[in-house]
Amino acid sequence: MHFNQSEHLYKEAKEHIVGGVNSPSRAYKGVGGGTPVYMDRAEGSRFYDVDGNEYIDYLGAYGPIITGHAHPHITEAITKAAQNGVLYGTPTVLENRFAKMLKEAIPSLDKVRFVNSGTEAVMTTIRVARAYTGRNKIIKFAGCYHGHSDLVLVAAGSGPATLGTPDSAGVPASIAQDVITVPFNDIEPFKQAIEKFGDEIAGVLVEPIVGNFGIVEPKPGFLQEVNKLTHDAGALVIYDEVITAFRFTYGSAQQLLDIEPDMTAMGKIIGGGLPIGAYGGRADIMEQVAPLGPAYQAGTMAGNPASMSAGIACLEVLQEQGVYEEMDRLGSRLEKGILERAEEHGIQIQINRLKGALTVYFTDEKVENYEQAENTDGEQFARFFKLMLAEGINLAPSKYEAWFLTTAHTDEDIDQTLTAVEKTFRTMAND
């Protein structure tokens, strides 16, 4: 397998695009660098790169591509939308249809608003929470990612109940002062933060099932406690379901976990592969948003007919009988197969899996929070990633990401992947 064309394109890209990429993780920083593979075409579970190599894809574009690439029903919907004119700047019937579908699928959404990315969706929920409560501070959880707006690019301070520091140049320290970051799955530090800052907290932001330091489920009772303490403090609970909405079930993580937030941010899957974000929640909270209320949010591209059409078509595919059960079945085969081969070759791994999403951590310790994910072996992961790529398996280039199955993956894909895992572990064991 060679990557000559990819190498050429990456060299050219670096002359014109900052860092050669339009989103940093694509530069393979998470696996020690290298030339990112330039994909040329994608169909179903397969990728075809510019050098003529074929891959089974588990990146799923970092989550959105749950029906596989170029699903005919979604492609047809996008084609029709393009033929009807891609952007109007007026309301359309598609927005009503899609909003109703989301509300039917996720009961905590009384009202929704469409935006263009997960970043925008989360950013706006924070503004609305601030408008509703008249308070400024937010609490979030270490290792959860909520997009690249100022307020959520803040790292933890020195202790559980201390204010944050900027996690990116260009984020003012004054903004970081409004953010408290505490560990996921540990209620004590959260309690301390609430005790210290309770009457200043506008909202508590959390991925109810984490997707950003691998797939990590909340411990039983953890989110219930977070809800109770947050509400007792007069603050709002905001679930970032940008990854989780429609990932594990037709609906959201909140339904799987039988718990309700006050507001929810969404993105990724609900766009069927086109740019989208959405947020929603209780009517009295959402009525803070312009034109009804004083919290401003707008968007030239928001609710555009192409994204609405792709989103509706994607959810229609996901309504088909048995699609989530099948992703779960294939996920389970993959998990068992990888664990068996790791054991056979003496490679220490842990797998966190929920239905069709899983993370392989190189560690012998369970991963339930960010610190434990950080402590897994990044060098071993990088080696695994590169060997798997050479075997035609495209994974996310970071030890913190998930493998995503789609409705297009088959038993044959799993067999082929496990053969690649077998070869890769054998090579790693002999390193």
Q: Which residues in this chain contact ligand PMP in the complex, by CB under 6 A?
A: 62, 117-119, 122, 145-147, 207, 211-212, 240, 242-243, 267
Instruction: Using only the alpha carbons of the chain, give its radius of gyration.
Output: 21
CB of 204 to ligand PMP, least distance (A): 15
CA 332 to chain centre: 21
Q: Which of 10, 28, 55, 145 is catalytic?
A: 145
**Contact at 8 Å (CB) between 373 and 352?**
no
- Strand pairing category for 201-206 and 137-141: parallel
Q: For ligand PMP, which is the closer residue by CB, 257 or 349? A: 257
CB of 205 to ligand PMP, least distance (A): 9
**Contact at 8 Å (CB) between 180 and 200?**
no
**Contact at 8 Å (CB) between 57 and 401?**
no
CB of 242 to ligand PMP, least distance (A): 3
CB of 412 to ligand PMP, least distance (A): 29
- Strand pairing category for 350-354 and 403-404: unpaired
CB of 279 to ligand PMP, least distance (A): 11
Which amino acid is residue 396, in one-letter code?
A
For helices 305-318 and 323-345, give the axis angle rounded to 10 degrees: 80
CB of 268 to ligand PMP, least distance (A): 6
- H helix intervals, 68-198: 72-83, 93-105, 118-133, 173-176, 187-197
Q: For ligand PMP, which is the closer residue by CB, 197 or 361? A: 361
CB neighbourhood size of 267 (10 A): 27
CB of 114 to ligand PMP, least distance (A): 13
- Is 145 a residue of the active site? yes
Q: For ligand PMP, which is the closer residue by CB, 95 or 240? A: 240
Question: Left, alpha or beta for 130 (phi > 0: left; psi -120 to 50: alpha)?
Answer: alpha
**Contact at 8 Å (CB) between 393 and 403?**
no
Which residue has the closest beta carbon to ligand PMP? 118
Q: For ligand PMP, which is the closer residue by CB, 259 or 418? A: 259
- Is 268 a residue of the active site? yes
Tokens of residue 352, six digits:
């966190």
CA 149 to chain centre: 15
Q: For ligand PMP, which is the closer residue by CB, 122 or 171? A: 122
Q: Which of 218, 280, 213 is nearest to 245 (CA)?
A: 280
- Is 199 a residue of the active site? no
Q: For ligand PMP, which is the closer residue by CB, 307 or 417? A: 307
Say which residues have a Cβ less than 8 Å from residue 416's Cβ, sequence separation at least 6. Answer: 56, 392
Q: Which of 57, 240, 262, 413 is catalytic?
A: 240
Q: Which of 303, 284, 261, 288 is nearest to 115 (CA)?
A: 303
**Contact at 8 Å (CB) between 30 and 400?**
yes
Q: Which of 268, 324, 400, 413 is catalytic?
A: 268
- Strand pairing category for 393-394 and 54-57: parallel
Q: For ligand PMP, which is the closer residue by CB, 5 or 249? A: 249
CA distances, 344 to each of 339, 347, 425 (Å): 9, 8, 9
Compute the distance between CA of residue 125 and CA of residue 156 in angstroms, rounded to an integer. 21
CB of 124 to ligand PMP, least distance (A): 12
Q: For ligand PMP, which is the closer residue by CB, 243 or 421? A: 243
Which residues are annotated as catalytic?
145, 240, 268
